[in-house]
Copies of this chain bind each other. A is one copy, B any other.
């Protein structure tokens, strides 16, 4: 039977044909020969589901493939594989469920969907002995899912630290060079890195979705995304970048995960990382993921986190994988070995790391003493403390900056509350975490 299968092609249908879908069709056409060789048989497109059949498409998209009716695809038993590149939650969720139920393999680039429904969809795929592959859902051009799934198949992952959002990274890189947040964001939008509505990017929620997907593979964790503390970059000020630089750090927006026994520690926020660390130098629109394997040690992967062609390369790599497993009569390869277990996220108060604290204080005697005492009362120990300059006028604020030793975030928060109740603060204190990666 397998021998016969090798002669018949794998038939795939695309759901959506935007920029990523167009890139997929281009790669399938341009590299037809060696893709067929790698998959062990020809990959043949049968349908492309679109909303507007008359909209112009890439040259590789044949007119006869276009359909507006999903039933044509789900009802056709010859369709082996469905490639979801439409994005958004619905109707993508519905379509993927139906494709899996019909025993079709599924390749998706949809991080929102996998972050929200991944564990359930993986379970459904395993039950139906079919494939669900989602490399392109995290860091477009970085083979992180594959690395977690295969290269680390023999190891267990202790932690992941990822620069997961290209817009945030671009903005922070430009701000380090002296640009304001607003101008950097505008430039990111003009260059096509940021969405028209950049809230998901700069607010950290895009990175949080990717962290949830990674933690499925890294820790076998199915989590409640609502339990993850998410901070964006919009409150980072120039003075923070300057202090960070002075202390030997850069500020990066990170998605962080640690295996903590029964629980997982997952959090998304800007963080100080040492200038000479590998992640500190992943700049501009690049993404990077740093994985610490218990036996493997450190492993860093860097690449384009988004963009049509990098994402399309990842989608087509998944198509080849899934096609191959179907040609071999052994679907289920992409999901095999994924064991998911619901795991609670460690409350942020219990997280232990080092902290960067900045206060805008009135220039009065005793101020530093008050701050130090409040921190001391919660056993938060100070590594460095800098007061920058003197106020010109009696009412002006002076920045005081503190680097703590390792301590629990709950203790830091309690200390800040005690400090905030003092009169001399000119604005809310800034708290940033320091990650030693």
Contacts and interface: CB of A to CB of B under 8 A. Distances in A.
Interface string A145-165: 011001111111000000000
Given A276-B281, A297-B304, A313 B152 contact: yes
A328 B331 CA distance: 10
B37 A297 contact: no
A31 interface: yes
Given A2-B329, A302-B278, A296 B151 contact: no
A416 interface: no
Contacts of A297: 141, 303-304, 307, 309-310
B156 A31 contact: yes
A296 B303 contact: yes
A425 interface: no
A155 B2 contact: no
A280 B280 CA distance: 12
A150 B298 contact: no
Contacts of A152: 313, 317
Contact of A151 (B31, B146, B288): B146
Task: Sort chain A's interface into a size bin.
Answer: 35 or more
Interface string A281-316: 111001010000101111111111001011011101
Nearest to A220: B34
A154 B278 CA distance: 28
Interface centre among A2, A151, A330, A336 (most CB of B within 10 A): A151
A224 interface: no
Contacts of A23: 295
Interface in A20-46: 23, 27-28, 31, 34-35, 37-40
A39 B154 CA distance: 10
Given A34-B337, A38-B153, A276-B281, A301 B304 contact: no
Interface in A101-159: 135, 141-143, 146-147, 150-156
Nearest to A280: B281
A320 B150 CA distance: 9
A330 B2 contact: yes
Nearest to A27: B154
A353 interface: no
A155 B300 CA distance: 21
Contacts of A314: 151
Contact of A281 (B37, B281, B298): B281
Contacts of A31: 154-156
A371 B147 CA distance: 51
A168 interface: no
A319 interface: yes
B319 A154 contact: yes
Contacts of A330: 2, 328, 330
Contacts of A312: 154, 295
Given A37-B337, A154-B312, A296-B303, 9 more contacts: A31-B154, A39-B337, A143-B146, A150-B150, A151-B317, A155-B316, A278-B286, A278-B302, A297-B307
Closest 7 CB pairs of A and B: A154-B316, A38-B337, A143-B151, A300-B302, A299-B303, A295-B309, A281-B281
